[in-house]
Amino acid sequence: MTRNVAIIGTGHSKFGVRTDVNLQELAWEAIKQALEEANLEQKDIEYYTVGNMGLWSSEELPAPIVGEYSELTPKGTMRVEAACATGSAALRDAYLAVKSGEVDIAMAIGVEQMHQSKTPTVVELLGRAGNYFWEFENFGLTFPGYFALYATAYMNKYGLKEEDLGEIAIKAHHYGSLNPYAHLQKEITMKEYLNSKPVAWPLKLLDCSPITDGAAAIILASEDVAKKITDSPVWILSQGVASGPANISKRNDFTSMETTRYAAEIAYKKAKISKEDAWKYFDVAEVHDCFTIAEIIAYEDLGFAKRGEGVNLAREKQTYIGGKIPVNVDGGLKAKGHPIGATGISMNVTLARQLLYRAPNKHMQAEIKNGMAVAHNLGGTGHYAYVTILSTRRPEYVG
């Protein structure tokens, strides 16, 4: 038995340097908001999953710690990890629990408190997330270094300029300045971007997502239950998942992420969407922009632009609200922040609220015509990819 699954409650903490709370208090900010939105109590949650990478945190067992503090125990739980796609992995686990008929109501929670460790430690631990012995130990690659390889490859093949990356950063900071949940709430200019400190050429400080603390939560329900709780469910129409080789030397193309293309193919097929016309279906999108180059590559891998033409969307400002397809209108990872375990859930919180005209700022609200949105969450440098399609229209089938 498989069933349609709806989002019935969403929660989101303030992202940033959250040393004012501990891990479980941070998670509770999002959980409490989601419960209130769904008009449910903790006893109504039959299963909860916690996305947390947690290498930098003091708590080794975040799921029961969060569950105990939030009064979700003794319901079943597990901690989920998929690098930067951890949040989407947690969402998938809760989604499958409801979809399979195992439970009627489940909650996906993502939480990360990265500032429990110092910045050099966090940078090192992230760098270890590639192929440790070959890439980190022998060549000292950090994550900015990994994505700099993609940026230079794209420059050489398609003529990308530093100013094109700057357009992505400027857009992110514009929408981040409007988002009360965002880590970085300040607009930037092209001059400020070009003058920002180099990190791994051509990537500068303003090309990089910040080290962030934050939490997000989503409550899911089966169709029968959702109808009793809300008259405005947002359906998970489909989800595609993929994995890639740990060693980047085994990759043939550094201008594209094969895992994104594969995950998108699965999600689009289930949702009966043509990848060639994907941008026509979606009113708004969230894509993984841990670094500015990643957003441009995602445009192409998701079918918003042809290969080599994603840069034109940036140059022509076609991913602002009112453009061809609004992307990351909450500031994205670049300005909203990238608390690893919360990121994927945060993306889907943003999109669910967008589809229901509940953006936290009216200037962040996209026009909703088709009632569909897509979230793209990358783990590592393409080690994982999750593509999730949301819709306000009830699925005619179970994908």
Q: What is the pLDDT of residues 203-240, one digit of tens each?
A: 999 999 999 999 999 999 999 999 999 999 999 999 99
Full-prediction pTM beyond 0.85? Answer: yes
Please report, for residues 6, 69, 284, 327, the alpha-carbon distance to residue 258 in angstroms, rounded to integers and kept in the order given: 29, 40, 23, 21
Instruction: Provide the percentage of residues in the chain whose pLDDT is more than 90.
Output: 84
Q: What is the DSSP letter of 211?
A: P
d(CA 262, CA 265): 5
pLDDT in the model for residue 56: 84
More confident residue, 223 or 132: 223
Between 180-184, 278-282, 317-321, 326-330, the lowest mean confidence (pLDDT) is in: 278-282
Q: pLDDT digit string (tens) for 319-348?
A: 999 999 999 999 999 999 999 999 999 999
pLDDT in the model for residue 12: 98
d(CA 355, CA 372): 7
Please report, for residues 131, 232, 247, the alpha-carbon distance to residue 250 in angstroms, rounded to integers and kept in the order given: 11, 45, 6
**CATH label, 5-118+211-229, candidates 3.20.20.70, 3.40.47.10, 3.40.50.2300, 3.40.50.1820:** 3.40.47.10
Q: Mean of the pLDDT values across residues 133-162?
A: 83
Centre a 10 Å sphere on the Cβ of residue 161 and count the other Cβ atoms it contains. Answer: 12
Instruction: Provide the percentage of residues in the chain whose pLDDT is more than 70.
Output: 96
d(CA 209, CA 283): 24
Centre a 10 Å sphere on the Cβ of residue 361 and count the other Cβ atoms it contains. Answer: 14
Longest dimension (CA), the chain: 57
Confidence category of residue 134, pLDDT binned at 50, 70, 90: low
Would you say residue 367 has pLDDT above 50? yes
Q: Which residues are catalytic?
A: 84, 338
Q: Which residues contact 263 (CB under 8 A, 6 or more apart)?
A: 240, 241, 242, 376, 385, 386, 387
Q: pLDDT digit string (tens) for 237-252?
A: 999 999 988 877 778 8
pLDDT in the model for residue 135: 63
Between 100-104, 317-321, 392-396, the lowest mean confidence (pLDDT) is in: 392-396
d(CA 251, CA 267): 23
- Which run of H or of E encompasses 217? strand 213-222
- Which run of H or of E encompasses 378? strand 372-379
Confidence category of residue 397, pLDDT binned at 50, 70, 90: very low
- What is the overall mean pLDDT for the chain? 94
In the chain, where are the structural domains located?
5-118+211-229
Would you say residue 310 has pLDDT above 60? yes
Q: Are 275 and 240 in contact (CB under 8 A)?
A: no
